[in-house]
Structure 1
């Protein structure tokens, strides 16, 4: 197939989870013989922080002004077998309208932010990247979130097919590696700053660090306010590039997974970081949300503390043997169902059904 994707970014992983999600899926699709074109707006933030400017598995079309360049950008889809518009693509609403009018292939919406989308649709009927009126026109609505969200998309907003389409992990990239002293720690966290995650990060990591002053903790990710007060044994790293993520996880005895409020409320919304950490075999400590047990089994494949004291007890009371067994079980579970190749096969089936 020829597949054209209009997405937020694939060239830069700075400050977003979209790039690694697209990279995993599109690499697998290309490996299965498909031709991929990725359309991305050339914005300053990503232009200055591109860590994959020329992917080997797809061609990238950058543009500056949709109104001026729409004809050229839509032309890519006129002979395509599938067109995909992603959440937070800056010109998604205009692109979707043009595709509905001109494309002869299935047009799919890929929502990597379903809980946020649903909240905005309930409040105003529109987001910056999709409107309520557009949803019934997509051949399928691919959702980052499963569970009740799928029924709401179909019953309340008219989606023809609302289908769970989770992120995935590339096992060729994400796997256990040798420990690197730079990243070595008792507990790590990798993620961009988000105000609705920060209180959990301070409670479960920063306060736990205060209880264990002899241990080292690492928080990696951009956009954290300089005013935050970290425990003296917490090291901040502004950015860890994706090629270093496997080593980052493999060098942590445990890593922390945290979920934004909208995702917790919706449930059934596993992050790409959860899958990537699992594939690296690191033991994961996480907040709790509805549906988590469908991905990893609490107590055996993932740990769910209720306080900083719980975290401290986990870090000091679980033996290295049990920690490694837990990481291995999580790795086995995720690689059985959530690799990029699994998701590519799902995508092929969905397009076939839509066509």
Structure 2
């Protein structure tokens, strides 16, 4: 099957948290025999901050971030593909692309809306009854989501989706694995995530507040946008951390912190890529509390859970290196056994083959 995928970027993780999800899943689909072309706009300086070259398992088409650019890219995709997947959050001309891809339904071409931020999308659609996705979602053969659980599925169905299937984040063992510690990343607690409006307050609570309470501990804040953020003296700001450095980042601290954005904490559960990457690297993870964590990692044994800043402080004060190592190793075993991108790609192909069969039966 020839799959044309429109997303934010495959080759750059700069202001693009979905990059490793795209890479892991599409690489695994290619391994299963699918022919992948990834279309991404030349926007937000991502091409100047590439962290991988064009991969050998996908053709990458970088189109100008203009009206003419996206139209030409879509025209090419329509000529060559069997299936067109439009991801949420491409970043430029999203509404135009959403509307245009949905219009392809009458051509017989199979289309998928692939939501990599379903909680935020559904919140926007709930607030705005005139949101353009109310018109486009019912026209797609499938809605696939980065996660979300039953609550996201039910809400998408209420908005007219024919089918909504969560395809969760996972790990690629060839990419995500233990790495030697780096002195510049050494700390007691690290956090990696870009500075976003619906994340910052939770970073204040779960990361910066504990740092204030524990002045003798060392904290490391990674991700784009934090350079001018006021932080306690014991917090180092690493800036953008390229995907090739993620393993070292996660493995260099006593523990690493996961903080969900507000929308993800409110609607269903969408464990972010960082949980799977850090676990596959063998890191000890402390996460904020959210429904569904036990479906992926066992609290207390494979991951530590904090309800608020006080819990983070208590967990960090009581955590010993040998315990952190034991938790990290247990998490790595669980992820490699149950949550790899090969398993996710097999799930996607089962879903696509069923959709194709249903189409053929209806014709």
| TM-align CA RMSD | 1.9
**Matches of 1:31 and 1:111, distance apart in 2:** 23
- Alignment map for 1:132-281 (pairs within 5 Å): 132-144=134-146, 145-154=148-157, 156-224=158-226, 226=228, 228-281=229-282
Which range is displaced more, 32-41 or 235-244?
32-41
Q: Against the structure 1 CA distance between its residues 40 and 126, is the aligned structure 2 distance closer, same or farther, given a 3 Å change threshold?
A: farther
Aligned residue for 1:48, secondary structure, equals helix
1:82-136 C-alpha deviation (Å, 9 max, x unpaired): 221100223432441353244x442111000111111111122355xx5211111
Kindly indicate whether the alpha-carbon contact (under 8 Å) linking 2:210 and 2:312 is maintained by their aligned counterparts in 1.
yes
Which range is displaced more, 109-118 or 57-66?
57-66
Aligned residue for 2:170, secondary structure, equals coil
Which range is displaced more, 199-208 or 255-264?
199-208
Aligned residue for 1:61, secondary structure, equals strand
Q: CA deviation at 1:312?
A: 2.9
Q: Against the structure 1 CA distance between its residues 69 and 307, is the aligned structure 2 distance closer, same or farther, given a 3 Å change threshold?
A: closer
Aligned residue for 2:135, secondary structure, equals coil
Task: Give the equivalent residue in structure 2 for 1:120.
Answer: 124
Kindly indicate whether the alpha-carbon contact (under 8 Å) linking 2:51 and 2:244 is maintained by their aligned counterparts in 1.
no
1:33-60 C-alpha deviation (Å, 9 max, x unpaired): 2211011111142233222342222111
Which range is displaced more, 345-354 or 73-82?
73-82
Q: Against the structure 1 CA distance between its residues 126 and 93, is the aligned structure 2 distance closer, same or farther, given a 3 Å change threshold?
A: farther
**Matches of 2:163 and 2:334, distance apart in 1:** 27
Q: Against the structure 1 CA distance between its residues 3 and 317, is the aligned structure 2 distance closer, same or farther, given a 3 Å change threshold?
A: same
Task: Give the equivalent residue in structure 2 for 1:59.
Answer: 59
Which residues of structure 2 form unaligned runs of 5+?
357-363
**Matches of 1:117 and 1:345, distance apart in 2:** 26
Aligned residue for 1:78, secondary structure, equals helix
1:191-214 C-alpha deviation (Å, 9 max, x unpaired): 001233223322332232233333
Kindly indicate whether the alpha-carbon contact (under 8 Å) linking 1:125 and 1:131 is maintained by their aligned counterparts in 2.
no
Aligned residue for 1:236, secondary structure, equals strand
2:97 matches 1:96: no
Aligned residue for 2:236, secondary structure, equals strand
**Matches of 2:175 and 2:18, distance apart in 1:** 17
Aligned residue for 2:335, secondary structure, equals helix
Task: Give the equivalent residue in structure 1 for 2:299.
Answer: 298
Kindly indicate whether the alpha-carbon contact (under 8 Å) linking 2:3 and 2:35 is maintained by their aligned counterparts in 1.
yes
Task: Give the equivalent residue in structure 2 for 1:29.
Answer: 29
Which range is displaced more, 157-166 or 60-69?
60-69
**Matches of 1:276 and 1:296, distance apart in 2:** 13
Task: Give the equivalent residue in structure 2 for 1:283.
Answer: 284
Q: Against the structure 1 CA distance between its residues 208 and 118, is the aligned structure 2 distance closer, same or farther, given a 3 Å change threshold?
A: same
Q: Against the structure 1 CA distance between its residues 68 and 238, is the aligned structure 2 distance closer, same or farther, given a 3 Å change threshold?
A: closer
Kindly indicate whether the alpha-carbon contact (under 8 Å) linking 2:77 and 2:84 is maintained by their aligned counterparts in 1.
no
The 4+ residue runs of structure 1 with deviation greater than 4 A are: none
1:207-230 C-alpha deviation (Å, 9 max, x unpaired): 32233333221000111261x321
Kindly indicate whether the alpha-carbon contact (under 8 Å) linking 2:63 and 2:69 is maintained by their aligned counterparts in 1.
no
**Matches of 1:69 and 1:322, distance apart in 2:** 51
- Alignment map for 1:62-77 (pairs within 5 Å): 62-64=62-64, 65-67=66-68, 70-71=71-72, 73-77=74-78
Task: Give the equivalent residue in structure 1 for 2:325.
Answer: 324
Aligned residue for 2:46, secondary structure, equals helix
What's the TM-score, normalizing by structure 2? 0.90
Kindly indicate whether the alpha-carbon contact (under 8 Å) linking 1:74 and 1:98 is maintained by their aligned counterparts in 2.
no
**Matches of 2:213 and 2:248, distance apart in 1:** 26
How many residue pairs match? The answer is 350
